[in-house]
Amino acid sequence: MFTLSPVVSLTLRIASVTSKNIGIIHVDRHADIQEKDLDERMHTTPYFHATNIPNVPAKNLVQIGIGGWQVPRASLKNMRDRQTNIFTMQDLEDFGMDKVIEMALEAAWDGCDAVYMSYDIDSLDAAFVPGTGWPEPGGLLPREAHKLVGGVAKEGLCGMELVEVSPPYDVSDTTSLQALRLIVETMGSLVSHDKMGSHKDIIDKEFTPF
C-alpha cells in the first residue's frame, strides 16, 4: 500500500468514471514528473504517474510557472520523452498571460473532453506564501495567478486541487488566504462562464471504489 498524491488519486477517480480523455493544467514552480524521488513515489513525482493513466494523455499535460530549483534531470528527460507542454516564468514574461492561457487551453483540451487543474501554492513568489514546503523566488504575483486560474477555468473543469499549503509554516494565515482566494477565483470564473458542473456529461461509467 502506498499513498497516492492528490493529482494521481483524484485524476484516477475521475478517469475511472469516463471513457473520455482528460487533460491537466498544472501550475507550479516545479515539474514534479520524475518517476521516483529518494526511491519513493512522493511529492516530486505525481505527473509521471498521473500521465500513466490511459485516458490522461501526457501530450495534454500543460505545466505553467516552471523554473524553481527542484526540477532535476530525470524530470527533464520525462518531459521530453512524453512531449508534455511547459511554460516557464520566462515564457509568461515573453508571451504574456493572455497568450499563455490561450496556448495552455489549446494544448490541454486537444482531443480531450475535460480538463483538471492542479495548483501548487509555491507557484506564487516566495514573498507571498511563507507557508509552503519549498518556497521559490521569482514566481507569480497574486493578481497574475488570479487571472491565470480564471482564464483556465473559463472553459470548464472536471476537478481542481490546491496543494502544498503548510499551515505550521504560515504567517498570519497569509498562505491560506492566497490559496482560498485562488479557489474562489476559479469557482467564480466557472459560474460567470456558465461552466459549473459542465463536465458531468463525460461520466459514462460506474464508479467502483478502490
Residues lying near Mn ion in the complex (CB under 5 A) are found at 28, 30, 120, 122
Grid coordinates representing 194 are 456558465
Q: What is the DSSP letter of 189?
A: H
Question: Is 111 or 137 the residue whose CB approaches Mn ion more closely?
Answer: 137
- How much is the CA Rg of the chain, to the nearest whole Å? 16
Select 64 or 202, whichever has its Cβ closest to Mn ion.
64
**3-state SS of the chain: helix, strand, coil percent to 5?**
45, 15, 40
Which lies closer to Mn ion via its Cβ, residue 91 or residue 113?
91
Pick the closer one to Mn ion by CB: 33 or 190.
33
Number of residues in the chain: 210
The CA distances from residue 26 to 33, 85, 159, 210, in Å, are: 11, 10, 12, 25
Q: How far is the CB of 136 from Mn ion (least distance, A)?
A: 7
Residue 28 CB, shortest distance to Mn ion, in Å, is 4
